[in-house]
A and B are shown apart, each in its own frame.
Chain A
Amino acid sequence: MRGVRRAILAVCFGVAGAILVRLAGASPTAPEQGGWRELRGEELR
């Protein structure tokens, strides 16, 4: 019985976490990303 309760609790935490991530505007699967910037100016001289 205790195991079932833990499993339900874990699922609830998981669902809540996924909702929070989406509310924060992030993709739940994409890793933390930087960005691409064009090489120019001094970097090519």
Chain B
Amino acid sequence: MTPGSTGAPAAVVVGAGTVGVRCARELLGSGPDGRPSVGALTVVTRRTDRRGTLAAAFGSEASVAVDSGGGLADLVRGADVVVVTRAAGEQLDVARAALDGGAHVVTTSDDPDEVRGLLDLRERARASDRSVVVGAAMAPGLSCLLVRHAAALLDEVDEVHVARAGAGGPACARQRRRALRGPAVEWRDGEWVERPGFSGRELVWFPDPTGGSDCYRAGLADPLLVADAMPHLRRVSARLAASRVDRLTVALPMLIGPPVEGGPGAIRVEVRGSRRGERHDVVYGAFDRPSVAAGATAAVVAVAAGRGSLPPGAYGLARLDAPRGFLQELARRGVRAATFEGSREFGVLDTGSSEDANA
């Protein structure tokens, strides 16, 4: 694969599920400067029966390749950036192969064990001067960008709490079920604490129209990525919205096939700390279809990685020093973040006046 005539990076999307296809669509769009986001794009699928459908859908804009097992190194050779959108738990080997092939890597996994494995690639990535972005989806991903953005408003941050509602495609729905079974990991005073899944019910207010939803501890990757970026934090936790039906069926395998496209979802991040000696909370959120937000986040990060704009190493998006540019680009692509303006007695920090915002 060779970069296109525009000099834009050559990208390969490995995994042509709901998130992968949306990510590929985003990569085919133009950037804020009107130039193509990528010079060349290849979508890799393992399903031979989907090859024709994908080729028809993308036409001449992207080439479609089938990974029949064992030939992944050839498929990613020459790529500037490889976006891994396979199911959580199946991304680590692809990331290793892409890194060995000399590409920057963007992964979308939210499986805690796999995220640990991906973070362990940091030395290998630094040695080859490549970036491995871990968990560039909706949560983790957009949630990590919002955490970083919120943290910039405070002088000192000591707690981060993330919550998520909804799932993307079928693989994401299955991973959500696994996550609810636990165990959940939380960062407390410099130590990892394991808690059972589906415990610690908390009513969380997501951006409208999701609104209030009961959320529970679950095996989510957000605490791993946030604590990796901000090890000084006292507490980091993540919760997942679930219903009473989920509680009844969580131990069972998925008897009814998960939906091809999940319903609307939402994320909410709460960053607690102090500013000018006073306690404050900053609450950010986003509402969108998880696969849409995940695909857009992965694409925006992939473009930056492919252009060599990201530092070498393996890390989550909470480690990026300038999250605003990414949030701005995501907003341009229709994935908009929101801030919660609560009552002042709870110490919610004013993140900017409405007049300024509308200016």
Contact = CB atoms under 8 A, between A and B. Distances in A.
A35 B341 contact: yes
B339 A37 contact: yes
A30 B343 CA distance: 14
Interface of A: 30, 32-45
Interface string B324-337: 10011001000011
A34 B348 contact: yes
Contact of B339 (A30, A32, A33, A36): A36
B338 A38 contact: yes
28 contacts: A32-B343, A33-B205, A34-B341, A34-B342, A34-B343, A34-B348, A35-B340, A35-B341, A36-B207, A36-B341, A37-B338, A37-B341, A38-B336, A38-B339, A38-B357, A39-B336, A39-B357, A40-B331, A40-B357, A40-B358, A41-B352, A42-B357, A42-B359, A43-B339, A43-B351, A43-B357, A44-B331, A45-B328
B340 A36 contact: yes
Interface of B: 205, 207-208, 212, 284-285, 324, 327-328, 331, 336-343, 348, 351-352, 354, 356-359
Contacts of B338: 36-39
Contacts, number: 61
Nearest to B203: A31
Contact of B285 (A30, A36, A44): A36
Nearest to A42: B356
Nearest to B325: A44
Given A32-B343, A36-B338, A44 B354 contact: no
Nearest to A33: B205
Contacts of B331: 39-40, 44
B282 to A, nearest CB: 11
Contacts of B359: 41-42
A38 B358 CA distance: 10
Contacts of A37: 338-339, 341, 354, 357
Given A36-B207, A39-B338, A41-B358, 19 more contacts: A33-B342, A34-B340, A34-B348, A35-B340, A35-B341, A36-B208, A36-B339, A36-B341, A38-B336, A38-B339, A38-B357, A39-B331, A39-B336, A40-B336, A42-B359, A43-B351, A44-B324, A44-B327, A44-B328
A38 B356 contact: no
Contacts of A43: 339, 351-352, 356-357
Contacts of B342: 33-34
B73 to A, nearest CB: 39
B337 A38 contact: yes
A37 B287 CA distance: 12
Nearest to B266: A36
A33 to B, nearest CB: 7
A3 B285 CA distance: 49
Contacts of A38: 336-339, 357
